[in-house]
């Protein structure tokens, strides 16, 4: 019988945690949740229903009704969805509902892989494997610039670098669930790593845990 385990992957934007989480989930046959899409999905659904995004009761009701299939909407990764997410994310009712969603996902009988910013510290502190993926602000800004350029846009590297640094400060300094590694997380700096190397390093951590557990 396959061993059940949960992998919590945290880290700042553009560090590579999302791609790494998908690869890990596929390799070990585990369900994967990109938790960053949750607030975007709530904002998108509330807007589509014509609700007032500044109404905590309405937004909370949408969050409580959210299903995993809502995360398949390709528009959730766009700028508009990000702006909608920022409006609903301020409501405690939304945060509470989405924390429950994430904990339920992490507690599946088969285990799971979740990536975000507070998985190992808040959502799944008992996860068997915790990985904090990071990279220098300059590398992350370059990755984001290249990503946008590949989509035919003309990004400004210096502006994106400033945004990355500003978001890092905001995420690390927030009063609720600040971005930081869990005490028992493995630090994986991908500044000098291609994704294949990062995936291999993560597999070594997970396989080591599985071997020790027997």
How many other CB atoms are there within 10 angstroms of residue 12's CB atom? Answer: 19
16 is in an annotated binding site: yes
18 is in an annotated binding site: yes
Name, in order, each residue with C-beta under 8 angstroms of 199's C-beta and a sequence gap of 6 or more: 20, 23, 24, 27
82 is in an annotated binding site: no
43 is in an annotated binding site: no
The token duo for 23 is: 């690869």
Write phi, then psi, for 151 (nearest 5 degrees): -90, 10
The token duo for 168 is: 């890092």
Q: Which of 214, 181, 188 is nearest to 24 (CA)?
A: 188
Q: Which of 101, 141, 144, 93 is nearest to 119 (CA)?
A: 101
Name, in order, each residue with C-beta under 8 angstroms of 108's C-beta and a sequence gap of 6 or more: 31
Question: Residues 206, 129: contact at Cβ < 8 Å?
Answer: yes
Name, in order, each residue with C-beta under 8 angstroms of 37's C-beta and a sequence gap of 6 or more: 71, 76, 77
11 is in an annotated binding site: yes
CA distance 32 to 65: 19
173 is in an annotated binding site: no
Max Cα separation, the chain? 52
12 is in an annotated binding site: yes
Q: Which residues are annotated as a binding site?
A: 11-19
Q: Which residues are annotated as a binding site for ATP?
A: 11-19
């Amino acid at each position: 019988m396959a061993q059940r385990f949960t992998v919590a992957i945290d880290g700042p934007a553009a560090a590579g945690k999302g791609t790494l989480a998908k690869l890990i989930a596929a390799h070990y046959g585990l369900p994967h949740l990109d938790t960053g899409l949750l607030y975007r999905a709530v904002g998108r659904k509330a807007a589509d229903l014509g609700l007032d995004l500044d109404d905590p009761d309405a937004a909370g009701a949408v969050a409580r009704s959210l299903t995993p299939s809502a995360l398949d909407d390709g528009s959730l990764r766009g700028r508009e969805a990000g702006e909608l997410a920022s409006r609903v994310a301020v409501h405690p009712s939304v945060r509470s509902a989405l924390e429950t969603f994430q904990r339920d996902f992490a507690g599946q009988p088969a285990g799971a892989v979740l990536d975000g910013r507070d998985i190992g510290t808040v959502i799944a502190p008992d996860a068997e494997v915790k990985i904090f993926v990071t990279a220098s602000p300059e590398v992350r800004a370059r990755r984001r610039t290249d990503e946008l350029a590949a989509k035919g846009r003309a990004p400004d590297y210096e502006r994106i670098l400033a945004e990355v640094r500003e978001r890092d400060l905001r995420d690390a300094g927030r009063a609720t669930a600040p971005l930081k590694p869990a005490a028992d997380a493995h630090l994986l700096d991908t500044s000098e790593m291609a994704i294949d190397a990062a995936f291999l390093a993560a597999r070594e951590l997970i396989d080591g845990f599985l071997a020790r557990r027997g």
